[in-house]
Structure 1
C-alpha cells in the first residue's frame, strides 16, 4: 500500500517542485502554494461525483459531448473557479509568475488525488503511464491556465478580461484535444506522442514568458 500511495503522489509533487524551482527571481510562499494544491485535491471528489451521477443517469450519451462537458469542460472550469475565487485576489499573488505556479499547484492537486484513486482501483501496473500522460498533462494545462491568470492580474490595459477568458478556454481546448486523441483506439499512441511534445513545448514557452514578465515587473517595482 505504501509503494502504491508513493507512486500515485510522487509524480505530482515532482512536477510541482520542478515548476517551483524554475522561478529563480523570487520565492513564492510555500504555504500559499500548498493551499492551492490542497484546494485542487478537494475539488476532485465533487467533480467525480457529478461525473458519476451524469454517466449513471445516462444524461449524456454522445462520447464527444461527454468529453467536453464531463471531463475537459467540468474539470478545467472547477480548477479555474478555485484559482479565480480563492487565489486571484490573494495578497501573495504579487507577480506574473505566481499565476503559473498556482495554476500548476491546483491542477496537480486534482491530478494527484485522481491518480491515487485510479491506482487504488486498478493497481500499480499503470503508474508509469499515468505519470507520463494524465498527471503531466494536468500539470501542463495548469501551467497554461496560470500563465493567463498572471497576464490578467497584471495587465495594464483593457486586456485583463480577455486574458481571464483565455485562462479558462485555452486549457479547456487543450484538454478536449487530449481526451479526443484517447478515443482513437488502435492508433492513439501515434497521436498522443506528438501532442504531448507540443504540450510540453507550449508550457515551457509559457514558463519562459512568465519569467520574463516577472523580470519586467521587478524592474518596474525597482526591486532589481
Structure 2
C-alpha cells in the first residue's frame, strides 16, 4: 500500500512584521516528510579541546585561590569563613533561577558563570588589587599606606573587579550566543557570576576577621567577625550582584536591540560596565565615611537602586512572556500550535497548572513533557523575536526546524494539559478537541 502523500504547503502567513524577515515554518504534515539537516558548526574535537582548556583553567584557578585564602586566613579561619559565607548563596541563586524560569539557561552556563566568579575572577582581582595598592605605596610618596589602600579600594578595585566579572558575560555572549535571548539572560548570568565572586571574597573577609578576633580574644556580638557577617551577609549580600547586573543588563539590550546601529550596540556594554564601576566605587567609598555616612549611602542610594533594578528585571521577564503572544501566531497559521496555545504559554500560572494536571493524570514523565514543550515553544518565540529584531542568522532554518520537531514530539501530552489549564486559570475559551500528530482525537486529561 502506497503511503499517503503529504498535503501541499499552506500559503505564507499574513504575519510579517518586518519585510526583511520572511521566514516561515512548513506545516506539521509536510514537515513529517522532511528531516532537519544536521549541521555541525564547530568540529567536535575543537569543542572538546575548548571545553577541556576552560575546565582546566577554572580548576587551576580554584586550587590557587583556595591555597591563597587558606594561607591568609589559616585553616580554622578558612573553615569559619566558608561556613558563614555560604548562607546567602542558595538564596541568591534561587532568586536568579526564579527570574529565569521562563526560558531557563542551560545548567552548564550557570555553573560556568558561578565557577568563573568564584575562582578565575577572584584570583585575578586579588592579584591585581594587591599590585595596584603596592604600586601606589611605592610610587606616590605623598600617600600613607592607609591612603593607598583607600585609593585602591575606591578607584582601582571597582575597575578590576567589574572587568573580570564582566569577562564571564562576554564569553557566554560570544560562545553561547544561541542561549543569550535578552535582558533577563544578561541579568541572570551576570548576577550568578557576581554571586560566586562575592562568595569567595566573603570567605576571605570573614576568615581574616575571625583570625583577628582570635588574636585579640574578642568573642560574641562585639567581635569583628559578627560585624563583618552583619554587613556583608545580612545587610548587603546583593551588593556584588547588583553592580555586575548593570553590565549584564547592557549586554541583554545589545543582544536584541538596535540592529541598524552597530556602534551603539558595541558601546552599550561599555556603558553598562562604566555604570557598574561607578556604583561599586560609591559603595566602597561609603565605608570611609563612618557609620552614619555608610548608612546614609546604603538607605538613600543603594536600596533604591536595588529596588529599581529588581523591578526592571521583573518587568523585562513580563515583556518576554508577552513576546510569546506576538511571535508564536505564525505557527498557529501553519498548524504547529492551536489558537489558544500562545495565550496559555504566555502565562506562568497556566504553565504550572498544566504541569500539575499532567503529573496527577500520568505521573512525572508527563509533567516533564509539558516542561519540555513549554521550553521549546519559548525558545522558538525568542528565536523568531531575535530574527525579527536583528535579522535571521544563516542557521535559523535549522534551529527553527529542530525546535518544531521537539515541540511536535511532546505535543500529544502537553497540548491537552495546557488546554485544560487555560480553562482553569482564564476565562472560558472556545473548546476544541486535541489531536495527536496523526490527526486522531485524544481524550482530555482527567480532573
TM-score of the aligned structures, taking structure 2 as reference length: 0.46
Which stretch has the larger CA shift, 4-13 or 70-79? 4-13
Look up the match of 1:106. Answer: 193
**Structure 1 residue 213 displacement after superposition:** 4.3
Q: Structure 1 residues 7 and 221 mapped into 2: Cα distance closer, same or farther (>3 Å)?
A: farther
Q: 1:202 to 1:88 in 2, by over 3 A?
A: same
Greater C-alpha Rg? 2
2:116 aligns to what? Answer: 39
Alignment of 1:165-176 (within 5 A): 165-176=270-281
Contact 1:99 / 1:146 at 8 angstroms: preserved in 2? Answer: yes
Where do 1:81-96 residues align within 5 Å? 81-84=167-170, 86-89=171-174, 90=176, 91-96=178-183
Check conservation: 2:246, 2:273, Cα contact below 8 A: no
Q: State the match for 1:10 in structure 2.
A: 87
Q: Higher RCO, 1 or 2 (CA under 8 Å, sep at least 6)?
A: 1
Q: Which residue of 2 aligns with 1:52?
A: 130
Q: CA deviation at 1:18?
A: 0.8
Q: Which residue of 2 aligns with 1:201?
A: 307
Secondary structure of 1:135's counterpart equals coil
Tell me if 1:138 matches 2:240.
Answer: yes
Q: 1:189 maps to which residue?
A: 295
Q: CA deviation at 1:40?
A: 1.0
Counterpart of 2:165? Answer: 79
CA distance in structure 2 between the partners assigned to 1:56 and 1:191 by the alignment: 29
Deviation at residue 24 of structure 1 after TM alignment: 3.9
Residue matched to 1:70: 156
Aligned-partner Cα distance in 2 for 1:17–1:107: 14
Residue pair 1:8, 1:115 contacting (<8 A) in 2 also = yes
Cα pair distance change 1:160/1:213, threshold 3 Å: farther
- Is the Cα–Cα contact under 8 Å of residues 100 and 146 in structure 1 kept in the other structure? yes
CA RMSD of aligned residues (A): 2.4
Taking a change above 3 Å as real, the CA distance of residues 65 and 119 of structure 1, as seen in their structure-2 partners, is: closer
Residue 154 of structure 1 is matched in structure 2 by: 256
Give the Å deviation of 1:193.
2.3
Distance in 2 between the 1:53 and 1:65 partners? Answer: 13
Q: Could you report, residue by residue, the CA deviation over 1:37-58 in whole angstroms, capped at 9, with x for unpaired residues? A: 1011121012111211222341
Unaligned runs of 5+ in 1: none
Q: How many residues align?
A: 223
Gaps of 5+ in 2: 1-75, 211-224, 329-376, 379-447
Q: Distance in 1 between matches of 2:256 and 2:232?
A: 35
Q: TM-score, normalised by structure 1?
A: 0.87
